[in-house]
Every structure is written in C-alpha cells, then in structure tokens.
Amino acid sequence: MAALAACAHEPAGSPAASAPGEPASAERAGRSSGEPARPSLSPEEQARVNEFARAYADFLARAKTVREAVRELSALAQKSGGAVTIVEQRPDAIALARAGRRPLGEGIAIVVVPLDAPHLRLLPAPLEEREHFGMLRTTLHGTLDLKQWLSIPLALHGFIPGKPGLVIGEQPGDPVLVVPDLLPHLAMHAQAERIIEPSNMSVLGSLGGARALGEALAARGVPPDDLATGEFSVVPADAPTFVGADRALLAGYGAGSRALAYGAVRALVDAAPEHGVLVIGVSSLDGASAGRPFVRTAIERSVAASGGDQWAVRGLIAHSLAVIGHAVGGEPGKGIALGPLDDDATPEAQRRLLRGIEHGGGRFQISSTEARGAPARELSTQNLDAIELGVPEMGSQAPLPVISAFDLYQGYRACKGLFELP
Amino acid sequence: MGAQLLLLALLSVTAEDLATDLRVFLDLGRTAAQAAAVARQRAQAAGFRKLDPLDRTACGAIRPDDRLLVALREQSVLLVRVGRQPGRGRWIGAHLDGCGLRVQPGKIPQNGQMRAVAYGGIKPYHYRDRPLLLTGRVVRRDGSVVDLTLGPSDGFSFLVTEMPPPDDHALRARAPFVVVAAQTAAPLQEVLRTRFGVREDDLAASELYLVPAQPTREVGLDRALVGGPGQDDRLCSLAALRALLDARDPDRTAAALLVDREEEGSHRAGARSELVDATEACLAQAAQVRPGALFARSQALSADVKAGVDPLFPQVHELRNAPVLGGGPTLVKFTGGGWFRGSEAHAELVAAVRALAARIGVPLQGSLSGRVDEGGGGTIALFLAQRGMDVVDVGLPVLSMHSPFEISAKSDLYQGYRLFMAFFEEPVTR
C-alpha cells in the first residue's frame, strides 16, 4: 500500500500544485494533513465525479453482455450529433472515430477497450435434471472466482439470430436463476479440497425437472433448437450499487473492465480533438490477439474514408499512440492506473500520454502489477506504440468488482486530455 | 374428509398468497427484532392483547379463547390462543434470527472501515462483494432507542472488502470482517447524526447487523421458488405465525414461540428464556393446574428448516432419508450429528403427526441432517423437550442454507402452513 501511494502523481495543472500564496483549496487542506494519496475534491468537482459515476452505473446496468455494450456505446456516440462516426459496427465490436484539426498523416490517438466481463455461458445442449431440479449446464467465459458466484441471483441474457433477445432476471418482478451452495453444516468433506469444480457450475433453472425447464424456456420463445444456436450468458442479476456513505466506490458487474470503454466514448463525444481519434471496442483482449484483426480493420476503414491507401495506413500507425483500456492493477482511489511503462511503448509515446493526462487534469498512478500486458505487446508488433491504462478494481474475477468513482472520472479526463492535446 | 374440504374452501389462502407474504415478512424482518415486531403487529391486528406473564392479576384473568401476546424482550415473541381445554397444549417453536454479520459496537474507525463478526455459522466468502444493508438498534446516551436502517434506499450499500480465513472444516469463521462504510469515518458519522440523531458515542450501546441488501426474489423460470436471506428460520416462523393466526377454535391451548438467538445458542431471550417458563406458569394458573403441567400435557413441533438435497452436492445427503424441495414438510426422528444438540422424538408422536398429515393430505418427507459423519445441525427441540413437552422436529426444506440467498419452495411453505394449522386445530379425542 505504501509503495503504491508513493507512485501517485499530481498533474502539473491541478489545484494541489498551484503556486504558494493562492487560496488554500480543499485539496491542499487534505494534503497538508499528512494524507497525500487520498484526494479531496471541491464540491463542483465532486459533483462531476458523482454525476459521471451515476451515468456509468446506468450504462453498466444496461450493458451486461458484449452485444449490449456495443448497442449502448453506439447509442452514446449518436449523442454527439454527427461529430462521432461509427466506422465499423459488428455484433461484438465497434469502432468510433472523430476527426481532429490536424490531418490523419500526423497520427491519431487510438483507444482499444474490451467489452466483455467474466460470465457463465450455457452449453449448446444445456438442459439437465439433477435431483429433480431443472438445471442448465454452463462453461466458464473468462476467469471466474467460482465460489463468489455461488448463491447469488443470476440473470440469463440470450441472443438468438433473427429473434428478439431474451433477458430474464433483470427486472424486479422477474424470477432469477442461481447456482446453489452447500450449507456449511455439511461442507466439511465435500468442499474441503475445492469449493466447487468448474464442471459442476450448473445453474438452477426450475423446481420442476429438465422437461419443465425446457417447456418454460420454449414458452418464452426459446425452443431447444435455439439453445443450440444462440448465445446465452448467465450474469449477476443485480444493478450496480454505490458503496459507503460517501458513495466513493461503485460495485457492479463489469465495473472495472468496461470503465475505460465508457470513459473513452464519453470523452470522444465531449472532446474537441487536436488529432484524429479512434475508439475501438472489441469483445475481448484475452488471448493477446483476439482484438487485433478488428483493430487493423478499423484503422484501415477510417483511413479509407478519407481517401487514404495502405501507405497512408502504415504511415498513420507509425505516428499514432494506442491506449489499451483495461484493468491493470493499481490501488482504488489513487487515480487512473498506467500499466508497466517499461516495455511496449517508447519513452516518447509514454511522455505523450502523460502530457495528455496532465492536459486533461487527470490524476494517475503507475501500477506495479505483476501481470505484463499481453494486449499492448501484441499491438506493439504492429509498429504501434501501445500503453495500458485502466481503472483499478478490487475483485476482478468476482461477480461485483469494485472501483472508485474518482478513478473512473480520471479515466475520462485522461482520454479527453489525450484527445485534445495540442 | 367432507369437513376438511369445506375448511379448505373457506380458507382460500393459496400458495402464492403465502409466498408473497413470505417475501414481505423477509424484506421487513431483516433482524430477529424486526421480524418479532412484524409478528407483534400482525397478532395485535388479529385481536391479540399483550400479556405480562409476571403480572399475577393478569394471569388470573385469562379465559378460554383469549388471544395473548407475550413479548420476550424486543427480540422474541410468544403468541398464545387459549383453548377450550386450557390444561392441554400444542406448541410450535421456530426462530426469528438469521445468519449474517454483526457490527462490533463502538466508534467508526477513522479510515471508515468497520469491523463485523459472523452471527451464526456462515461461509465468509458469501459475504465478500455482496451489497449489505446496515440495520438494527442503537440506545442513545439519554436512553432513547433508535431503530436505524441504511442501505440502497439511501443510495449506497456497505461492502466487505476483507474476510477472515475459514477457521474450521465447515468453512466458518469467527475473526472480524472488514466492511467499507466510507473512505473516512466522517460521511457515515454525518448520516447517522443528521438522519437518526445518533452520535458516535451512542454506538457503544448498539445491536447492528449487516445483512444482504438485495430484496427477496422469485427463483426459477417456473417461479416455484423464493430466494432471499434469513429463511432459516423465518420461513418456518411465518408458517407458524400464519397458522396460529388463522387456526379456527383450537381445542387445546395453541402457542407459537418465535425466538431469537437460535444460531448462537438460544441465550438471552431465546428458546431457553425463563420468560417462556413464566408464561407457561401463568397459563397453568389460569387452567388451574400446577406450573409445568401444561408443558407436560403439550405436544410441540420444533419447526426449523432442513437441508434439501443439493443438486450439485448430492453425495453429502443420505438420499433415501433426505428431503427434496417441493416434496412437502420434513419429519425428523432425530436431529443433530448424533451428538451435537441432538433430539429424538417419541415414536408415538411421530405416528400422530404422520396420521394428521395423512388425514389432510399433506405429504411428509423423512429427513436426517446429512449423511453420517458429514456434519449436521441442531434445533431448539431440546429446549422444548427439557421443559417436559413431547417434541418432534417438523420443518421445511431449503437450499443454500446459511447463505445470503437461501432458497425455499412455495409449495412447501403452503403445505407446512396447512400442517401447522391442522396441528393447532386438531380436537382432543376421548
């Protein structure tokens, strides 16, 4: 904790760094009390942080799957009144662009963000009967802290091609699903080695058996055939919630992994960019290269839209900076976290990002995470400087990760500052 | 049988009605004291009057058909309907406390991180990353009592960020949990002061719990289940409460004993409370029998939830002797792990309850507390037996017991309610 606190940086233009003799701001008072790391904000600043976090919580409640996130980000972009264009939209990916004052050849700022979050995915033939209950067999999508997913209300989000989507469990009057957990009285032996095996993560779908559950799904427009073709995600049913009487923390499904996706698109809508900006949402950054083809496609499309060819694409990439926006460690409440800076970007690129963050008035910390950023490394092979930037979260594999509203807002400021950097 | 059908038609209470009532009861009664308050309100609305069992005159004035309410402190409640044969009794005991986290009394630490300890046997991981509600009572320095609840309706929740390691094989823990109340102490202090007039010094005398903030939900696409915290044992408490309120003209004196502190040893005003004995003595005096004689001429059901067969861990159950959700109330010949807070019912009483259930068409399931040597659990049965009552454990099956999202079947609650009501109404046969 102490080591991380020492890494918290103060932007040059912030009130805390203002010259001596100026009226002491709330933030200065906070710092003089020997608590350097915990920023206290002016009421106006706090109100902006709170408003932003509330809007983000609404976004998270509506965007629990990748497809829903694409839909919500697309809707958000359309609020710009045409300044932001949708370069490419796929069911599970989206690229948004905004022209800057400078020509494309001088490079652009690219933000690549993942849109997924860990969840349970129904198997193609999920119906089974266990001890008279109707159950749904699942597989794990992403890394889940399995015990944290037991005994919580779960919702089912289904996408079936050519049909309206299926959502069960998100409205207060909806029934929910659950993976039950063993009572402690009888857990002595059965859970001594491991709380639950991944292959045992079946979701309780009905008191009636498999036939009753199949009929209940069919009655909601999902016959067994559609179970085999569609995408069915099981996610926590609860809406995000603020934590603590000061509402300084936000607990919500996907809160950490999608923070910069939301922050970057909000900044894209609000900014008056100097260089061109491309915000690319991909389904996943897992497996290093998952999002790479789409990133390249999105760059090519945006260059082609302004009449450029492959030479223009390569030239643009050489002068551009990519920010990979996902959780990279750091301590909540200390600002947006930069991934380890020593590897995948040149010092020039690092300085450009830091200047951008400072320009936007954002506060940052440098993460000491052990995890090396595979996504940034992968993009750096494209002759693209890539730096990871993310909102610190607690419990990234838990159903309700926790982030700080302050950090969330710093992510927005960092993006906006980078976009508007002269 | 014809009379029973007529009775059912008159009843017009459906499984859905009871399930809705259960959800209201669970959402209003987050602590034993709150659930006791709901029970008192329901009883008073149904014509029950308060009885002080220590008041000799009041005890002398008790008459058949009286409806009496005895508050065992604020946390437990004993409801009595005096029978036409007041020297005989039928009791149902259930508990109002549920597992959760109890806040350590005292000041809020400067870093805003409160300390809480387990109440009842909980798995620590169930409480991490789960939005929690702060609720309970504070007695201010001037002696005034404040009931406070802080949670989602105020726009925020509390959250456990550090949990103690499990300290036994059942994954339970006694060491404190760390709970975020704010980034510093000040915001919570301010809310407590402005909303409730509670100053920090006042917290030294408090009983505050952190319970899951989520409201109860229907579970399953067939909506046949109810999920939510505290169903152990507010599920049986509600069945007993409704059965006592709705029963018609009980022949024997009918009593529902709904108590706190079962999960922690039934102390304070729990099942072991002297106030239960005082009330019996009071009723015995009115029935003109010696103290203890009413107990001796009473049958009792210890109504506590039982572990329904877990579909993911069937191996811990003795499957031929384990209840399934939706299969009806459970009848337990003996409880405990064979040694821990165990109780064994007389075969005569087991036979009588089975015959009663068969007469009204309520399915009964056999139950043990898990396979031999997998662990087990006790109920308040032994505290009723110690007073001379003839006791058998009859309960309702739940899944995920002791977790913040316990699951019960609507149909089981309905059948439990019918059985309990028939138990109260059963006439004395010559």
Contact of B125 with chain A, judged by CB distance below 8 Å, is answered with yes
- How far apart, in whole angstroms, are the C-alpha atoms of residue A199 and residue A140? 9
Cβ(B212)–Cβ(B405) below 8 Å: yes
Please give the average per-residue pLDDT across A291-304, as a whole number.
83
> Best of A146, A151, A238, A403 to disrupt the B interface by mutation (most B CBs within 10 Å)?
A151
Which one has a higher pLDDT value, B169 or A284? A284
Q: Which of residues 134-163 of B touch A (CB under 8 A)?
A: 150, 152, 154-159, 161
Angle (CA) A177 A178 A181, round 5°: 165
Amino acid letter at B73? Answer: R
> Residue B122 burial by CB count (10 A; 0-12/13-18/19+): exposed, middle or buried?
buried
**What sign does the dihedral A10-A12-A14-A17 (CA atoms) show?**
positive
Q: In the predicted model, what is the mean pLDDT of residues A131-139?
A: 97
Which residues in chain A are closer than 8 Å to B227, comparing Cβ atoms? 153, 176, 178
Q: Which of A277, A323, A253, A283 is nearest to A94 (CA)?
A: A283
Of residues B191, B219, B374, nearest to A188 (C-beta): B374
Set of chain B residues whose Cβ sits within 8 Å of the Cβ of A182:
310, 312-313, 316, 400
- Residue type at position A341: L
**Which helix or strand (DSSP H or E) is residue A85 part of?**
strand A85-90
Distance, CA of B72 to CA of B95 (rounded, Å): 13
Predicted confidence pLDDT, tens digits, chain B (430 residues): 455 555 555 568 999 999 999 999 999 999 999 999 999 999 999 999 999 999 999 999 999 999 999 999 889 999 999 999 999 999 999 999 999 999 988 889 999 999 999 998 889 899 987 999 999 999 999 999 999 999 999 999 999 988 877 665 555 666 788 999 999 999 999 999 999 999 989 999 999 999 999 999 999 999 999 999 999 999 999 999 999 999 999 999 999 999 999 988 888 888 989 999 999 999 999 999 999 999 999 999 999 999 999 999 999 988 888 899 999 999 987 765 444 555 678 899 999 999 999 999 999 998 776 655 555 667 888 889 899 999 999 999 999 999 999 999 999 999 999 999 999 999 998 5
| Position A422 pLDDT exceeds 60 | yes
Q: Which residue out of A146, A183, A331 would a mutagenesis test of the B interface target, given it has the greatest number of B Cβ atoms within 10 Å?
A: A183
What pLDDT is recorded for position B1? 45
Kindly state the tokens that stand for B284.
Answer: 């015995």
For tokens 């958000």, the residue is A76
- The number of beta carbons lying within 10 Å of the beta carbon of residue B28 is 12
Instruction: Tell me the average pLDDT across A379-385.
Output: 81
CB contact under 8 A, A242 and B156: yes
Contact (CB<8Å) A130/B314:
yes
- Asked whether the bond before A116 is cis by omega within 30 degrees of 0, the reply is no
pLDDT digit string (tens) for A344-369?
A: 778 888 899 999 999 999 999 988 77
Q: Could you tell me how many residues make up chain B?
A: 430
Do A161 and A229 form a contact (C-beta atoms < 8 A)? yes
Read off φ and ψ for residue A255, nearest 5 degrees. -60, -40
What ipTM was predicted for this assembly?
0.91
More confident residue, A306 or B353: B353
A402 has a chain B CB within 8 A of its CB: yes
Task: Say which DSSP state B157 is in.
Answer: B
